[in-house]
A and B are shown apart, each in its own frame.
Chain A
Amino acid sequence: ILNVEQSPQSLHVQEGDSTNFTCSFPSSNFYALHWYRWETAKSPEALFVMTLNGDEKKKGRISATLNTKEGYSYLYIKGSQPEDSATYLCAPSRGGGNKLTFGTGTQLKVEL
């Protein structure tokens, strides 16, 4: 079983703060890295999928980077808003690509 670590486990920030989380994974046999956002009482939804070393993706105030050689990805949120409150999951895929291994997630709470 792939060892995927996310840090921090939880995070409380004030509205307007910028924040970032880390996802670490084994770099061997890497295929793609997925980020998901999971809001309470909703289904996880895909944010980004990245494949190449040095990839950067952006969606509004959220962006992510990928380092496949050292096995980590960062997710950044600029100017956090209460609606950003959710658990953020990362999941690398290996080999054939359609089997994901999820980290335990970073739970973000943005307070007014």
Chain B
Amino acid sequence: DGGITQSPKYLFRKEGQNVTLSCEQNLNHDAMYWYRQDPGQGLRLIYYSQIVNDFQKGDIAEGYSVSREKKESFPLTVTSAQKNPTAFYLCASSIDSGQGIYEQYFGPGTRLTVT
């Protein structure tokens, strides 16, 4: 089955530790995205990548880093510099369905708790 996997579903870390969230897709999509959701807020874009070895900052990139060494994988590292890392993180991928329209497909998410 084609899809997007994120692991783990729940992740717990101590404050001051970096943590990497996994996102893998087998949809052969070029573009991948990381979003964060907090209570009462919409999904906010952290980073996105339109092609391998290239990525851009989204609206809230501070305290995060990404890499895109393979088309299938777009891991997100939450660094100790991120002031409020506890949140629900969603990964997505997309492909141009025609005329520059990119429909995004989402993974199941990872809930990160930092104490």
A4 within 8 A of B: yes
Q: How many A-B residue pairs have CB under 8 A?
A: 59
Verify A32–B101 contact, CB threshold 8 A: yes
Smallest beta-carbon distance B36→chain A, Å: 11
A85 within 8 A of B: no
If A44-B90, A97-B101, A98-B31 touch, whether A104 touches B106 (CB-CB below 8 Å) is no
Interface residues on A, range: 20 to 34
Chain A at the B interface: SS class: loop
Verify A98–B42 contact, CB threshold 8 A: no
Q: How many residues of B contact A (CB 8 A)?
A: 28
Verify A96–B100 contact, CB threshold 8 A: yes
A70 within 8 A of B: no
Q: Please report B residues at the A interface, Cβ cutoff 8 Å.
A: 4, 31, 35, 40-45, 48, 50, 58-59, 90, 94, 96-97, 99-109
Q: Please report A residues at the B interface, Cβ cutoff 8 Å.
A: 1, 4, 31-32, 34, 42-46, 49, 51, 89, 91, 93, 96-105
